[in-house]
Structure 1
Amino acid sequence: MAEQSDLPEVFATDAAETTATTTVDVGAGKHVEPELLGLAPYQWVSLSMVVLLLIAFFGAKVHKTIAGGLDNKIAAIRDQLEEAKTLRAEAEALRDEYASKIANAEKDAEAMLDNARVEADAIVAKAEADTKATIARRKQMAEDKIAAAERDAIQDLKARAADAATAASRKLIAEEMGAESDRAMVDSTIAQL
């Protein structure tokens, strides 16, 4: 008999002979993916994700939570849009108000400028009238002073002339009249009384 080896014995049967095929590959070894019920592992992962999502949407009613969250978000966005419309309307109203205020301010400024011109013209006219009146008053005062000075000068001149005439008369009388002529003059004056 031949030597026995440690290898197990293989018995070939008729059924095994028909299905057993030998494939000889001369290159790299071929990797065979494991399969369960004819599905590859990625297919099992996809199938389990579909089942999980179906359970989440229909069993746990996650779709209502998601829809409620989306509805809340939509409502918040609508509120923000309404607030933005309100703010825009307020801003437009303020813009119109300030535009009218600016127009009114320009009209007021023009009216104030016209009023200032009229007042300035009135002040200039009054100043001219006051100046003319002041000049007339001062002229009259100067004429009055000149007339007063003339009167004073005439009176002074008259007084000097009278003084000179009196002095000359004294001198003449003193020279031409003596004591006897004085007596005769006094007697004649007394007789006239």
Structure 2
Amino acid sequence: MRKILATLAAATLASPALAASGPFVSLANTNFIVLISFLIFVGFLVYLKVPGMLGKKLDERAEGIQAELDEARSLREEAQTLLASYERKQKEVQEQADRIVAHAKEEAAIAADQAKADLKDSIARRLQSAEDQIGSAESRAIREVRDQAVSIAVAAAKDVIAKQMTAAEGNSLIDSSIAEVNAKLH
């Protein structure tokens, strides 16, 4: 401690104002005083073990930086793993979406073919129904024409018979009809 005080006292006494020109190793030489002051300062720093503390602090800082770099590297690797996982999942989802779209297209084509077949069947049924209705209307029209023809024929026959038949012939015809009905019933 005495050395330090002595050094400080010498440094204080060796101010630039007291320095003068002359030989180099002289308290009057400013350059020599600055050199001595610098050496005392460096010695003081070495005595207090400042370079060791600076080295220790720099080592701690380097270790901290290395730890941060290692953590950043591990985070980067983890991020790359996650990215690869997400890319793989995205690819799987894209493939699944492509399969779904292809399946939907196939189902749409099948549904369209089924709709065409159903439409064909429906048209065939309607045509058959229309043909049946036409046939029924034709049969009805033929029946009506026949019924009308029979009615006209009966009316014409009635008129002809009424004009040509006498009462005696009418009575004999009625009697023969009754006998015929009686024979058919028994």
- TM tier, smaller: 0.7 to 0.9
Shift in Å, 1:147: 1.2
Shift in Å, 1:161: 1.4
The answer for the alignment partner of 2:43 in structure 1 is 54
Number of aligned positions between the proteins: 161
What is the identity, as a one-letter code, of the residue corresponding to 1:117? Answer: K
Is the CA contact (8 Å cut-off) linking 1:57 and 1:63 kept in structure 2? yes
Greater Rg over alpha carbons, structure: 1
User: C-alpha separation between the residues in 1 aligned to 2:166 and 2:46?
Assistant: 168
Shift in Å, 1:189: 2.7
Runs of at least 5 residues in structure 1 that lack an aligned partner in the other structure: 1-31
Question: Which stretches of structure 1, 4 residues or more, deviate above 6 A after TM superposition?
Answer: none
The answer for the alignment partner of 1:117 in structure 2 is 105
CA RMSD of aligned residues (A): 2.4
The answer for the alignment partner of 1:24 in structure 2 is none
What is the identity, as a one-letter code, of the residue corresponding to 1:101? Answer: K
Q: Summarize the alignment of residues 171-182 of structure 1 with structure 2, pairs less than 5 Å apart.
A: 171-182=159-170
User: C-alpha separation between the residues in 2 aligned to 1:154 and 1:170?
Assistant: 23
Larger relative contact order, structure 1 or 2 (CA cutoff 8 Å, min sep 6): 2
User: C-alpha separation between the residues in 2 aligned to 1:122 and 1:46?
Assistant: 101
What is the identity, as a one-letter code, of the residue corresponding to 1:61? Answer: K
User: C-alpha separation between the residues in 2 aligned to 1:120 and 1:147?
Assistant: 40
Is residue 126 of structure 2 the alignment partner of residue 138 of structure 1? yes
Is the CA contact (8 Å cut-off) linking 1:56 and 1:62 kept in structure 2? yes
Is residue 145 of structure 2 the alignment partner of residue 157 of structure 1? yes
Is the CA contact (8 Å cut-off) linking 1:34 and 1:41 kept in structure 2? no
Alpha-carbon deviations, 1:101-132, whole Å to 9, x = none?
Answer: 23323422332233233223312321232122
Shift in Å, 1:87: 1.7
TM-score if structure 1 supplies the norm length? Answer: 0.71
Query: Larger helix proportion, structure 1 or 2?
Result: 2
Runs of at least 5 residues in structure 2 that lack an aligned partner in the other structure: 1-19
Aligned partner (choices 47, 52, 56) of residue 68 of structure 1: 56
Is the CA contact (8 Å cut-off) linking 1:35 and 1:41 kept in structure 2? no
What is the identity, as a one-letter code, of the residue corresponding to 2:132? Answer: D
Shift in Å, 1:36: 8.7
Q: Which moved more, 1:143-152 or 1:113-122?
A: 113-122
The answer for the alignment partner of 1:83 in structure 2 is 71
Shift in Å, 1:78: 0.9
User: C-alpha separation between the residues in 2 aligned to 1:114 and 1:191?
Assistant: 88
Shift in Å, 1:54: 1.4
What is the identity, as a one-letter code, of the residue corresponding to 2:71? Answer: E
Aligned partner (choices 117, 120, 127) of residue 115 of structure 2: 127
